[in-house]
Amino acid sequence: MSAALNHYQALAAAAPQTHAYQAIGRERLSLVELPNRKQEAWRYTPLAPVLDHQFTAASREEGLLEPEDIASLRVTPADHVCIVLLNGFFMPELSTLPPQVGLEVLDLEQAIQHSAIGIERLGSLSGACLDLFGAVNAALTGSGAYLRVTEKLTQPVEIIHLNYSFESEVLSNPRVLVQVAANARLNLIEQHAQFADLLSMSNGVTEIFLSEGAQLLHPRLQHDSVRTRHLSHLYVQQAATSVYKGTSLALGSAWSRTEFHLDFVGEHAHCELNGFYLAGEQQMQAMHLDVLHSVPNCTSRETFKGILYGHGKGVFDGNILVKKDAQKTDARLSNDNLLLSREAEIDTKPRLEIYADDVQCSHGTTVGQIDPEMLFYLRARGIPKAEATSLICQGFAAELIAHCEYPALEAKALSILQERLAPVAAKL
């Protein structure tokens, strides 16, 4: 395991320095402890898939893809803004960037070099890089995208992340910085899409700043190759009266871990955070959640669901912290899981830490199998068992997927889900 730390330290030392925040990452790499099962945050997460491979830092590669390749992956119309990050690097020749009032899109490296508005916020939410992979991303900061929104945008913006290279075992470190100004609004659609069956790792960090009265709808679909290792850190800071609605769907990758960090810094802000994960043979899906209520009169709703089959493994670790001064907080957390086999495993741990006395908070979790009565009801109406089983699973997931509030993305997710579940249902 120490070889893994030495390897990442060497990658960081060899990378060109383009931003002061990289120094923090490099410093942390000399101090940080490798993730291990003794650490609460990593207790249920298998680490061999990411620590046993010496992934090589990705470099910008030209000519790998054509615009037609991207067109087949998009869920937004062809004339809408679409940002393509290939191995973490902003690719303007593959992106669609029509001018739009109230929207600024830049390569992150260019934003750093030209001191774009708010670029000094880079790294301020992801903080001191207390874990290995956060430190690696910080040390290699430079590749990624910068978005700044100052108006109420009516058209969605799409970001497509792709891992594709002539090399094997490539590590991409995309970083996305999003700023939504006061009373502005954005629908930001993200896809981590599969293009090739490549052994690789994506180690991404997204930082989102919502100013007073800002609104962000943020659906995310991860359907990477089953050989991909996927690690995503999402940080959101909400000012007064802002609204964040995020839905993350984890369907692909052999090893996937998504971390959510939400922080309220102004009163009367509202957050809806939803997640769905599907894990089958040789798959592990983990979702970790930290919601910090540090000011009064804020509300949050966290709803997560999972379907597991075969030897699939799921991890849900959700925590809501209500500080002493956060009176009138209203926070609800739930996690529901459907297991389709005896071998499937789910480790679920929803938690509340409450230090205020005038709050409304709840949390809960369920783990179960397909309801026999529901299955009997469908079969009694002439629906074959396999089809009935698939319908029940799709209904379980569809309620949450609908929170994406973008029909094309929802249809794509449901299509992937149906394709994955059809052979499973046939064997039950």
| Distances in whole angstroms, Cα of residue 9 to Cα of each of 32, 54, 109, 194 | 11, 12, 22, 29
More confident residue, 371 or 179: 179
Q: Which of 106, 112, 54 is nearest to 85 (CA)?
A: 106
Residue type, 46: P
The answer to whether residue 366 scores a pLDDT higher than 80 is yes
State the pLDDT confidence band at 421, using cuts at 50, 70 and 90.
very high
- What's the pLDDT score for residue 428? 79
- What's the pLDDT score for residue 214? 98
Average pLDDT, the chain: 93
Of 76-90, 92-106, 123-137, 396-410, the one with minimum mean pLDDT is 123-137
- What's the pLDDT score for residue 129? 66
- What's the pLDDT score for residue 19? 76
User: Using CA atoms, how far apart are residues 324 and 377, in angstroms rounded to an integer?
Assistant: 49
- What's the pLDDT score for residue 347? 96
Mean pLDDT of 235-244: 98
Q: Helix (H, G, I), strand (E, B), or coil: what is residue 398?
A: helix
What pLDDT, in 10s, does the model give residues 331-345?
999 999 999 999 999
Among residues of the chain, what percentage have pLDDT more than 70? Answer: 99
What pLDDT, in 10s, does the model give residues 1-55?
578 888 888 888 888 777 777 888 888 888 888 888 888 889 999 999 999 888 9
The domain locations on the chain are 2-266, 371-428
Of 2-6, 122-126, 183-187, 378-382, the one with minimum mean pLDDT is 2-6
- What's the pLDDT score for residue 172? 94
State the pLDDT confidence band at 142, using cuts at 50, 70 and 90.
confident
Mean pLDDT of 249-259: 96
| Distances in whole angstroms, Cα of residue 95 to Cα of each of 67, 224, 409 | 8, 20, 19
Q: Which of 126, 82, 87, 77 is nearest to 105 (CA)?
A: 82
Q: What are phi and psi of 245, to 5 degrees?
A: -125, 105
User: Using CA atoms, how far apart are residues 207 and 219, in angstroms rounded to an integer?
Assistant: 15
Mean pLDDT of 120-134: 84
Beta-carbon neighbour count of residue 159 at 10 Å?
A: 25
User: Using CA atoms, how far apart are residues 109 and 157, in angstroms rounded to an integer?
Assistant: 20
The answer to whether residue 187 scores a pLDDT higher than 70 is yes
- What's the pLDDT score for residue 185? 98
Q: Which of 253, 321, 243 is nearest to 283 (CA)?
A: 253
Beta-carbon neighbour count of residue 312 at 10 Å?
A: 25
Mean pLDDT of 377-394: 91
Beta-carbon neighbour count of residue 3 at 10 Å?
A: 10
Q: Quote the tokens at residue 41.
A: 């945050």
- What's the pLDDT score for residue 279? 97
Q: Quote the tokens at residue 296.
A: 């009064």
What pLDDT, in 10s, does the model give residues 188-230?
999 999 888 888 999 999 999 999 999 999 999 999 999 899 9
- What's the pLDDT score for residue 128? 67
Among residues of the chain, what percentage have pLDDT more than 90? Answer: 74
Q: At what angle do helices 21-29 and 2-14 cross, to 10 degrees?
A: 150
3-state per-residue secondary structure call for 241-296: CCEEEEEEEECCCCEEEEEEEEEECCCCCEEEEEEEEEECCCCEEEEEEEEEECCC
